[in-house]
Amino acid sequence: MKRQSGSFMTIIFACAAMLATAFAGLIAIPPAAQAQGQPLRLVALGDSLSAGYNLPQEAAFPTVLERALKAKGYKVEVTNAGVSGDTSSGGLDRLDWSVPDGTDGVILELGANDMLRGLDPAGTRKNLEAIVERLRARNIPVMLAGMYASRNLGPDYVQKFDAIYPEIAKTHDLVLYPFFLDGIAGDRALNLPDGLHPTAKGVEIIVERILPSVESFLARLSQR
């Protein structure tokens, strides 16, 4: 009986080891492991909020985001493709040269200037969807950074504009960060004197809040 018992326990431990090995294969690869391969090449395609209006380059959103991701063990390069004053139409027009071949993913942050100019939300939606579809045709995934309309534009405009980003994200199964300026909008201490653009501290808060969504996006990229 002792020999049988010993053999039985040996089989149990062997099976347990096999199950543990199989289970380990299902666990997501930790960020540090990604550093062994090539860096993920991201492009932040946006307007002045991405470009870093009136800020030094090291304080702009793409640079601060890259720094934060590297601090968490990701090997990434985030290119700044932000153009101050750009609309969704402008972003669509320059898409091909702003997002080079070999890009692994795009963080799309456009539409704020459409809203500030009171442009028809239907046009903004059409342009953003065209950007997403053209990038998808190039096999480049997109994460969508949303915007809310200023409430003084009236309830009809607000309703139509605010619906753009969640509906596009749902239609195209995109990672969505609903409001790029979350946590800093309306805070004078975190915005430049114009009240529209974040200070360096404001950018840091934007990155801190958007980081979990970007990590979800990177997880999708690693599964491709």
Choose the catalytic residue: 47, 98, 104, 197.
197
Please say if 48 is a catalytic residue: yes
Choose the catalytic residue: 5, 150, 194, 213.
194
Alpha-carbon gap, residue 223 to 28, rounded angstroms: 9
Choose the catalytic residue: 47, 48, 88, 162.
48
Q: How far apart, in Å, are the Cα atoms of 97 and each of 40, 107, 141?
A: 19, 15, 17
pLDDT tens by residue, 117-130: 999 999 999 999 99
Alpha-carbon gap, residue 126 to 119, rounded angstroms: 12
pLDDT tier, 21 (very low <50, low <70, confident <90, very high otherwise): very low
Say which residue, 102 or 11, is predicted with more confidence.
102
Query: With 70 as the cut, is the pLDDT of residue 77 above it?
Result: yes
Q: Residue 52: which of 200, 209, 188 has the closest Cα?
A: 200
Average pLDDT, the chain: 88
pLDDT tier, 37 (very low <50, low <70, confident <90, very high otherwise): confident
* Average pLDDT, integer, range 69-79: 98
Quick one: pLDDT at residue 188? 96
Please say if 173 is a catalytic residue: no
What domains can you pick out in the chain, each with its CATH number?
32-222 (3.40.50.1110)
pLDDT tier, 17 (very low <50, low <70, confident <90, very high otherwise): very low
Quick one: pLDDT at residue 128? 98
Quick one: pLDDT at residue 22? 37
pLDDT tens by residue, 193-207: 999 999 999 999 999
Please say if 172 is a catalytic residue: no
β-strands 76-82, 105-109 pairing: unpaired
pLDDT tier, 79 (very low <50, low <70, confident <90, very high otherwise): very high
Query: With 60 as the cut, is the pLDDT of residue 7 above it?
Result: no
Quick one: pLDDT at residue 36? 57
* Average pLDDT, integer, range 170-189: 98
Query: With 70 as the cut, is the pLDDT of residue 113 above it?
Result: yes
Q: Report which residue type is found at 83.
A: V
